[in-house]
């Protein structure tokens, strides 16, 4: 039975990535969104050292061209700390972006690094949600997401943290983190697809804090949405994960 429910993709990238042979033509995204039933896609661009350039690309190519279909997500990099606060102010006040995506892997340090402090302080003051990964290649042995986010949620209590690739990924550590801490959401996309990942999180009481994401243009929307649609969970929980939770989180 086909039914209507709002569907928001929380995690997609703008910018060409040619070794996946995918140009970031918004019409290709929209075609996929229409096939899959996705109403709106949250677009970030993390593939440039110049965050100003990246955010403008998101805004000009996607959000302002198709305001009903795309939501802007800001990016800044602590490689250029002198630009961060200006770019954050501009992204949210002028471009009207809805949350911040950080990618510490490209910074070569984890999100705990000092370079992120001014960004977190800014986001805490403005109550802006932040999406980034739970773990990094640079993590010391024994690092857990729980320890990491315990500190974050205490130091920056007004930030809503979204852990990317966590709700449908292999990081069961992230389910524990979200269960024990307030203000943690888990997003579902990823090329891996562990058995029962979504139902595992739901069965741990997290159905209000899971967010569907696609990772376009790397992944196909259909494979990613199917993780939620075909999971062994209730229809109401599917609807929450597909869009209702994102609407609440971002006040859409």
Partner 1 sequence: MGKVDLNFMPNVPVFDANAALGRRHDKRVNVDTVEGTIAEMDRTGVTKALVYAPHGAAYDSTEGNQILLETIGNNDRLIPQFCANPTFDKIDDFSKSVNSANVKTIRIFPPLHNYPFAEWVVGEWLDWAESENIAVWIPVNYETNWHGALDIDPTQLHDTLKNRPNVNVIISEIKYADFPWIMPLIRSLPNISVEISRWVIIDGIQRLINAIGDQRILFGSRFPDSPMSPQLYNLHHNDLSDSSLKDICAGNTERLTGVKVS
Binding site for partner 1 (CB under 8 A): 1-7, 19-22, 28, 32, 35-39, 191-196, 216-227, 229-232, 235, 238-239, 242-243
Backbone φ, ψ for residue 21 (5° rounding): 55, 40
- Residue 25 partner contact from Zn ion, partner 1, none using kind-dependent CB cut-offs of 5 to 8 Å: none
Q: Which is nearer to partner 1, 19 or 251 (CB)?
A: 19
Q: Which is nearer to partner 1, 144 or 199 (CB)?
A: 199
Q: Which is nearer to partner 1, 152 or 221 (CB)?
A: 221
Neighbours of 193 (CB within 10 A): 14
Alpha carbon distance 161, 100 (integer Å): 10
- Residue 21 partner contact from partner 1, Zn ion, none using kind-dependent CB cut-offs of 5 to 8 Å: partner 1
Smallest gap from residue 172 Cβ to Zn ion (A): 20
Q: Which is nearer to Zn ion, 131 or 202 (CB)?
A: 131
Alpha carbon distance 107, 38 (integer Å): 32
User: According to CB under 5 A, which one of 24, 87, 215, 237 is a site residue for Zn ion?
Assistant: 215
Q: What is the b/e burial string over 211-223, where b = at least 16 CB atoms within 10 angstroms of the residue's CB?
A: bbbbbbbebebee
Q: Which is nearer to partner 1, 141 or 192 (CB)?
A: 192
Candidate segments 21-29, 76-84, 176-184, 215-223, binder of Zn ion by CB under 5 A? 215-223
With CB atoms as reference, the residue minimizing the distance to Zn ion is: 215
Q: What is the b/e burial string over 2-30, where b = at least 16 CB atoms within 10 angstroms of the residue's CB?
A: eeeeebbbbbbbbbeeeeeeeebebeebb
Dihedral Cα 33, 227, 217, 170, nearest 10 deg:
160
Smallest gap from residue 209 Cβ to partner 1 (A): 20
- Residue 203 partner contact from Zn ion, partner 1, none using kind-dependent CB cut-offs of 5 to 8 Å: none
Q: Which is nearer to partner 1, 87 or 215 (CB)?
A: 215
Residue 151, CA distances (Å) to 83, 100, 112, 146, 148 in order: 26, 19, 9, 9, 6
Alpha carbon distance 9, 199 (integer Å): 19
Please give the residue ranges that form the binding site for Zn ion (CB under 5 A): 215
């Amino acid at each position: 039975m086909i039914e209507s429910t709002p569907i928001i993709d929380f995690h997609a990238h703008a910018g060409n990535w040619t070794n996946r042979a995918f140009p970031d033509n918004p019409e290709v995204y929209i075609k996929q969104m229409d096939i899959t039933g996705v109403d709106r896609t949250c677009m970030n661009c993390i593939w440039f050292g110049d965050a100003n350039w990246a955010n403008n690309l998101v805004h000009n190519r996607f959000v302002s061209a198709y305001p009903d279909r795309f939501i802007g997500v800001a990016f800044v990099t602590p490689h250029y700390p002198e630009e961060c606060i200006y770019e954050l102010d501009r992204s949210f006040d002028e471009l009207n972006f809805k949350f911040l995506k950080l990618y510490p892997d490209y910074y070569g340090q984890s999100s705990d690094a000092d370079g992120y402090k001014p960004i977190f302080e800014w986001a805490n003051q403005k109550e802006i949600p932040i999406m980034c990964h739970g773990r990094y290649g640079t993590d010391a042995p024994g690092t857990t997401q729980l320890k990491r986010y315990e500190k974050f949620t205490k130091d920056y209590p007004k930030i809503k943290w979204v852990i990317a690739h966590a709700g449908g990924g292999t990081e069961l550590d992230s389910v524990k983190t979200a269960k024990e801490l307030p203000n943690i959401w888990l997003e579902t996309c990823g090329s891996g697809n562990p058995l029962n990942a979504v139902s595992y999180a739901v069965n741990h009481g997290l159905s209000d804090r899971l967010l569907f994401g696609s990772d376009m243009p790397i992944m196909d929307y259909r494979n990613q949405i199917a993780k939620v649609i075909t999971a062994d969970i209730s229809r109401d929980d599917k609807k929450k994960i597909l869009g209702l939770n994102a609407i609440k989180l971002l006040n859409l």
